[in-house]
Structure formats: C-alpha cells, structure tokens
Amino acid sequence: MLYLIGLGLSDVSDITVRGLDTVRKCKRVYLEAYTSILMAADQESLEKYYGREVILADRELVEGGSDDILAGAQTDDIAFLVVGDPLGATTHTDLILRARELNIPYNIIHNASVMNAVGACGLQLYNFGQTVSLVFFTDSWKPESFYDKVLENRQLGLHTLLLLDIKVKEQSIENMARGRLIYEPPRYMSIATAAQQMLEIEESRKEGAYGPETPCIGVSRLGAPTQAFRADTLEQLAEYDAGEPLHSLIILGNRVHDLETDFIAAFAPDQERLRKAIKDDAQNFKKPEPPIVNMYDD
C-alpha cells in the first residue's frame, strides 16, 4: 500500500493519530521536501518523533524517480509525507496515477493545509475564488499568469489566496549549464516582495485588477505559534516586514461582508484606513462591461 499522509502546517505533533500509526508501520518513509516546509520541525526531529528513518524526497526524486518511491509497494507499506494536506495546495496526482498503473493500492490521510487554515484570518472560506501561485521574478522572466485569475476573482467579488514561491535545492543557470551539482541557499518569498511584484504587473497591464489601495491581508507562519496577520492596502504591504517565513498574501474581493470587515480590522495598523479602502474598493472597482447583443444578428 502507498500512503500519502498530511503532516499539517507547523509542528511534528501536527500529524494525525492515524497518520502517525501508519508511519510507524511502514517499511520506508519519504518526506516531500520541495513544495513546503514544517516551520517548527526538520528531518532530524521528525525521525526522533516517528522513531523511523525519513528519506528526503526532493523535486528530482518525486518528479523523475517515482518508480524508486513505489518499489515494493505491491507487498510493503510505503509512506509519502506531505506538509499540509497531500492533495491541498500542491497535488501529487502524478504519484497516484503511477501507482494505479502498477496496480498499487493507495490511501490518503488528510490534514490541515493553508487552503482551510487560512480561514483564521477572518475571511469566510466560501468567499474565496481561485488560488494562485506567485513565483520570484528575474530580470528576464516575469510570468503574469496569476494576474488573469486575480482579475476573474475580483470581478466575481471573491478573495484570492496567493501562495508565495519557495526555492529549495535550486541551481543557478550557470551551474546548470556547467553541469555542477551546486545548489543555491533556500529562499522564501516575503509578503513585501509579493506585493511589489503584483504592483509591477498592474503597472504594466493597466487592466485594473487591483491597485495600490486595494485591501489585502498578509499571512505569516500560518498554523505556527507565531502566526500573524496584517490587514492593509497592497501599497502598505509592499513595505511590510513580516518576519520569518512562511508567508501568503490575500487580495480581498470587492464585496467584503461586514462580519469579515469587523474581524480583519483587528489586524490593521490603521483601522480607519482599512475600512475606507474596503468601502472605496466596493464602490470604485470596475466590473466587466456586459456583452453588446445585436438583436439583428442571424
């Protein structure tokens, strides 16, 4: 059996009881180690808590070495650990599909992820639209695919959760070109960087998906004891020091419920400014023009 087991968001003990019992009976235990991190745990602490060896599974192993992970799973129990929920922010459907091809049964043990824990910020989960990812820009690469999804959400009055880039075990272009297995230090996108990049793309696109005065929430270390929220305009968050990672960013929809406003106001350094930004956004955000229907078309 292949087990995909969610670890939760922060501590070694965030794993469920069923998940922990399963880990301790498996022959091999892999930890997916490139899409996210447990903020208060590492490989050594996990091994101590589980009483088992934990094999780090980087991007190369997960995407190119699934046969190694699945080897023997027809007769043995294999655990594949994922920070958050196995099928939450990052899906691992490729591994499941490969297991199906090999007639290997699988079981998913769920846990909390950013996708549901983000409700702690005070916004109602069913008022969220598409979740999008934001990657680090380079001088020559500034992908804008997130922009259209934010615009679609905003046109529907829905909030947008942006998952910010994590660079773990990444190579520089030079080292890749020279075939050198030298990896860059880990990098985690901050709320400020995300806000700056978003404003840069709006300045380029000029389609009004959002702007400097758009109300937002910066989310820091969700699920950890040092969890923090900052409700402010996008322009203000572009200067915000959110401290240690991990971070996320929420762009509010243009129809914020009064209960949501009252809840998130406690996270604002200037409640009056936040309330004004929410009110102005509801009044000024430009909805898409309805299509013109020609009654004389065939």
Distance CA 13, CA 176 (A): 38
Q: Which of 112, 133, 159 is the last residue of a domain?
A: 112
Q: According to the model, what pLDDT value does residue 37 have?
A: 80
Same domain, yes or no: 58 and 104:
yes
Amino acid occupying residue 79: A
Distance CA 103, CA 112 (A): 29
DSSP state of 287: P
Backbone angles phi, psi at 74, to 5 degrees: -70, -30
Which residue segment(s) compose the domain that 83 sits in? 2-112
247 marked as part of a ligand binding site:
yes
Has 164 been labeled as part of a binding site? yes
Q: Does the annotation place 234 within a ligand binding site? A: no
Q: Flag whether pLDDT at 174 surpasses 90.
A: no
Q: What is the CATH number of the domain that holds 59?
A: 3.40.1010.10
Residue percentage of the chain with pLDDT more than 70 = 89
The model carries a pTM of 0.89
Distance from the Cα of residue 127 to its chain's centroid: 17
Q: Is 17 annotated as a binding residue?
A: no
Is 36 a known ligand-binding residue? Answer: no
Residue 222 is labelled as binding a ligand: yes
Whether the bond between 246 and the residue before it is cis, its omega within 30 degrees of 0, is yes
Q: Is 158 annotated as a binding residue?
A: no
pLDDT tens sequence across 147-162? 999 999 999 999 999 9
60 pLDDT more than 80: no
Of the three residues 112, 143, 167, the one that is the final residue of a domain is: 112
Is there a single domain that holds both residue 21 and residue 141?
Answer: no
User: 113 labelled as ligand-binding?
Assistant: yes
Least confident of 94-98, 211-215, 255-259: 94-98
Q: What is the pLDDT of residues 188-233, one digit of tens each?
A: 999 999 999 999 999 999 999 999 999 999 999 999 999 999 999 9
